[in-house]
Amino acid sequence: MSKKHYGVVGHPIGHTLSPFIHTRLMALAGIDGEYGIYHITPEELDTSFVKLMGELDGINITIPYKQAVMRFLNETDETAELYGSVNTISITHTEKTAFSAKGYTTDGIGFSDALKNAGIPIGDNVTVVGCGGVGRVFVNTCLAKGTKHINILECSQALNNAKTFAQSINERYGSDTASVFETSQFDGESSLLINASPIGMYPKTDACAVSDNVILKADNVFDAVYNPSETLLVKKAKNMGKNAITGMTMLVYQAAAAQTIWNSVTFDPDDIKQLAEDCYKNLG
């Protein structure tokens, strides 16, 4: 069996745990493969990304390209089509220079499994900060799990995008399902508060996605940011007695799902748990 080649694409993309995670997962599954990091600027995307697809067997997509790369794909699975974003691409090489690319999203699987392992229920009234690719996945996953209402929070510059997305949600689930607020103006309650934005990510670790009052009014907190191991949002939530976690376990579970797509392999939950713990150590 020939060696497999994978990688992650994003901008900016400095220290990422994806190579560490996927190298371990491939070792666990007995796969001969390597995993690289590819920084592509928006100006280079149209040319560099297509070239990269011709060289790799699979690609992970991170901020800010989860929606933008969809135009390069031959097809997407039903979940990615529904969520309007992809984080995993499987590439089939048919000839020396010809290939076919299919997009998936494993964010929803990772998100659900991370909450389940932490004993965090989603509940009926969820607040999501950020309306990018992963934010849309969280919204749709929560609704699929039975959430009745979603508050979508965005900065003033992105409100129109959030309103368009909320309109599509309301058309699908009912007119009162999704509401949109400018983040600084929201002061409501939440069964689960989710940060789907990069706010609080290293190196800007002194930033918090929402006000203390919004955290206080949330039953539980999930921050998709995984670096640092404890974001300011999670730290504040824990100090208030909330059950709060960052996105590390989600990151590992979604990577495992990507390997399942690429190589039809499965993993022991105990191995996933240990790998998540080792990832925190790797962050240093």
Contacts of 253 (CB under 8 A, 6+ apart): 106, 109, 110, 113, 114, 272
CATH of the domain at 66: 3.40.50.10860
49 assigned to some structural domain: yes
* Positive or negative: CA dihedral 267, 268, 269, 270: negative
**pLDDT tens-digit profile, the chain (284 residues):** 589 999 999 998 877 899 999 999 999 999 999 999 999 999 999 999 999 999 999 999 998 899 999 999 999 999 898 888 899 999 999 877 799 999 999 989 999 989 998 999 999 999 999 998 789 889 999 999 999 999 999 999 999 999 999 999 999 999 999 999 999 999 999 999 999 999 999 899 999 999 999 999 999 999 999 989 999 999 999 999 999 999 999 999 999 999 999 999 999 988 998 999 999 888 86
Residue 62, both tokens = 């991170």
Please indicate, yes or no, whether residues 224 and 166 belong to a single structural domain of this protein.
Answer: yes
Please indicate, yes or no, whether residues 189 and 275 belong to a single structural domain of this protein.
Answer: no
Please indicate, yes or no, whether residues 55 and 126 belong to a single structural domain of this protein.
Answer: no
Q: Which residues are catalytic?
A: 66
133 assigned to some structural domain: yes
Residue 71, both tokens = 């135009």
113 assigned to some structural domain: no
Please indicate, yes or no, whether residues 135 and 231 belong to a single structural domain of this protein.
Answer: yes
Residue 278, both tokens = 């080792």
Please indicate, yes or no, whether residues 234 and 262 belong to a single structural domain of this protein.
Answer: no
Q: How many domains does the chain have?
A: 2
Q: What is the dihedral of CA 210, 114, 117, 216, to 10 degrees?
A: 10
CATH of the domain at 146: 3.40.50.720
182 assigned to some structural domain: yes
3-state SS class at 141: helix
The pTM score is 0.86
Please indicate, yes or no, whether residues 204 and 268 belong to a single structural domain of this protein.
Answer: no
111 assigned to some structural domain: no
Please indicate, yes or no, whether residues 190 and 266 belong to a single structural domain of this protein.
Answer: no
Identify the domain containing residue 53 by its residue range.
Answer: 4-105+249-283
Please indicate, yes or no, whether residues 68 and 86 belong to a single structural domain of this protein.
Answer: yes
Please indicate, yes or no, whether residues 154 and 199 belong to a single structural domain of this protein.
Answer: yes
